[in-house]
Structure 1
C-alpha cells in the first residue's frame, strides 16, 4: 500500500500545484487594485521609437495625443528619411494641432539594440525631466500619463511600469498570441508581484526621471542588451530605487498572422526570460495548466486528483475570460510548454529582421553585446515594417522637426 501511495503522490502533487496556480492566477487577475490611482501634472516627455507603418500605428499613437494632462511632449524617432511612420506622425500633427510633437530622423546606430539606438538619437529633444517610454503598438486611456508619472514624485522610485492586455489584430493566430499575454504572462507577473518580486520593467510603459536615467549611464548603458526594458529597471534597482507596478493597464497589438511569426515572437520572449532568470524559468512549467493537469491525472488517476483537476480546469476557464478562449486554452498551453522546452536548448532569437544571440548570463549584469546575424530573406513575413541594418555608423540625413502648440 505504501508503495502504491508513493507511486501516485507525484501525480497528485502535480495536479494540486497546477490547479493551485490556476486558481491564484484567476483570483489575482480579477481582483481590483489595492493601491491608489493618484494623478500628476508634472511636465512629461514621451519617447516613441518608430520603425515602419504598423497596422494600427495611427490609432495607437493618437491615444497619446488625447491625454488629459496639462503639459506633455511627444517625441517620435525613426532611422530612415523614407520610413512610412513619418507620414503617420505628420497626420497626427494635422489632426492634433495643440499637441507638442517632435520628430527626429537620424540614421546613426549606437549599439546592437536598434530600438535603444533610436532612443539615444531622440532623447536630446526631450525637454522635460519626467520621461515615459512606450512601444509603438501600445494604446492608452486619456488619464494614462497623469497616473503613471504620479509615483515619480517619490524620490525613492526609480521606474514605473505597466502591465498590458493583448489586442488581437486578425484571426486565430493573433487571438492565440493575445492569450499568451492575457492568460500566461500577466497572471505570472501578478503572482510574482504578490510574492514580493519587483524584478521587472516592460516596454509597454517605462516612466522614470531624467536624474535616475543619468545615474545609470543613460540609454547608452543598455544599447547592447536585448531586454533593454528589463535592464532600465534593473539598473535603477541596483541604485537602491524601487520599481512600481502601476495599476494602469494598457493594450498592445498582436499582429502575427501565422504560426511561424507567432512562434518566433514567443520564443524570443521565452529565451529572454530564461536568460534573465534561469532558475525561475526552469520551474515555470507548472504554469502550463492543461498539460500539467493531464500529466498529473495520468500519473495519479484518483478521485482526489480528478476533483482537483476539475477545479483547476474551471479556474483555467475563468482565467481565459470567455468560452472561445477557454476552448483555445489546451492549444495555447500545449504550445507554451513546447516553446518553454525549446527555449531551454537554444540562444538564438528573431527580433524584427535580425537574428540575435541571447547570452544566458545576462542576469549577471555582465552580458556582452548582442550578436546580430543577417537573415537570408530579410523582412520575410514582416509586412510593411522597414528593414533594419546593424552596420554603424551610417552617414546620411539627420533631421529634427518640432512643432509646439501656439
Structure 2
C-alpha cells in the first residue's frame, strides 16, 4: 500500500500534531524560570548607568489587593538616586491614600503623588503618564505597572543595558503571583506556562518585537524622539507601540534578565476570559501572522488528537501507510507529552505546586485554544470596563473610568 490510502487532510493534521509537539519540546528546553535566555552570550551589567538618577513613573487607578507591598518594593531599591512618581486622576482614588501612607513609611525616598485630572487623549493610562512625565526630574525613565513587585537590585539591572547607545528600550518579563483560588490559578498558568515560554523562545531566536507594561526603561532623549507619551495618547496597546516607535528609530529592544512578579486576581471565568481574550485579540491586531500560528502552542488538544489518531491506526489495519502514520503520531504524542510535563515541572514553584496544578494543564490548554478561536473574530476588546476598538487607535470618548478598578491590566 502507498501513502495515498490516507487522505491528504489527515497527513496535514498529523503534521500539525508533530509541529505542536516540537514546539512544546523547544519551549520546555529553552524556558528558564530564573531569567531570560541570552542571545549574545554576554552577561548584562548589574551596576546601572554608573548611578545616573532615575525617575520611576507608576500610573495608578484604584486600590489592588497588594498595592502597598508592590509599591513598597520600589522604595527598597539599592540604586543610589531615584525618584518615585505615582499618578492618579482623582484625589478620591483609593490609591492616593496608599501612596501617602507609603511616603510616611519611607520619608528618605523621593516620593511624589501627582493628582491631575487632565486626560490628554483617549488612553487615560497614557494621559496619566503624560502628567507624571511633566514632573520627572531625571533623564532616565522607568515605567512600571502598579501590580508588580521587584527585587532590591531591580533599577540597577533594568537600566544597565541603556549604557549601550544601540539600545533604545529595556523591558521585563513577569511571573504570576496568584491571589485567589481556582480561576487565579488558571490565570497564573496562562502567564507562567504559555506566555513566558513563548517570550523566551522569541527572544532566543532573535525576535525582539515586544514591549511589556511590567517595565519599560528608556532615556528622556529617546522618549522625546518618538514624540513623547503624547504620541501614544490614543493607542490601545501603548506599551507595545512605545517600544515599536523606539525600534523605528533604529534602536534595539532588550529583554532584561530581570523577571518581576505580577498579581493575578481573577475570581471568575468571565473576568479571566475577558482579560486573556483581550490579550489574544491585541496580538492579532499587532501581528496577524504570529497570531495565526499560536494555535500550535496549545499542546493538550494536539496531544489528544495525536493519541486518538494513533488509536484509530492501531485498530484499522496494518498497511504501510497506516503503520508509518501510526509510528509518527505515537512518537509525536510521546515527545509532546514528555515536553509538556517537563515545562510544567520547570515552571512549578515546588513539588506540591507541580502535583496540585497538574490536573489543570489540559483544562488550561483547552481554554486557551477556545480563547484563541474566539479571538479570531471581533473588532474590539473589553479594557478597563469598556469596549474599545482594535484599530490601533482608541476613538474619542473611549478609555476607562478614572475610578475603575485596575484588575484589567494593560
- Compute the displacement of 1:78 (Å): 0.1
Give the whole-Å Cα distance in 1 for the aligned partners of 2:202 and 2:17. 20
Pick the aligned partner of 2:292 from 279, 282, 296.
282
Map 1:5-404 → 2, pairs under 5 A: 5=6, 7=8, 8-30=10-32, 33-34=37-38, 35-38=42-45, 39-40=47-48, 41-299=51-309, 301=313, 302-320=326-344, 321=348, 322-359=354-391, 367-370=392-395, 385=405
CA contact (8 A) 1:355 1:372 kept: no
Give the whole-Å Cα distance in 2 for the aligned partners of 1:16 and 1:387. 38
Q: Residue by residue, what CA displacement relative to the aligned partner does 1:270-295 show, whole Å, maximum 9, x if unpaired?
A: 11110000111012100010112222
| Runs of 4+ in structure 1 over 6 Å off | none
TM-score, structure 1 length as denominator?
0.88
SS at match of 1:252: strand
CA contact (8 A) 1:14 1:293 kept: no
Unaligned runs of 5+ in 1: 360-366, 389-406
1:30–1:386 CA distance, 2 compared to 1 (3 A): closer
- Compute the displacement of 1:328 (Å): 0.8
CA contact (8 A) 2:236 2:393 kept: no
Give the whole-Å Cα distance in 1 for the aligned partners of 2:91 and 2:143. 22
TM-score, structure 2 length as denominator?
0.87
CA contact (8 A) 2:87 2:128 kept: yes
- Compute the displacement of 1:325 (Å): 2.5
SS at match of 1:30: coil
Give the whole-Å Cα distance in 2 for the aligned partners of 1:201 and 1:233. 5
Q: Which moved more, 1:215-224 or 1:22-31?
A: 22-31
1:2 is aligned to 3
Q: Aligned-pair RMSD on alpha carbons? A: 2.1
2:351 is aligned to none
Unaligned runs of 5+ in 2: 314-325, 349-353
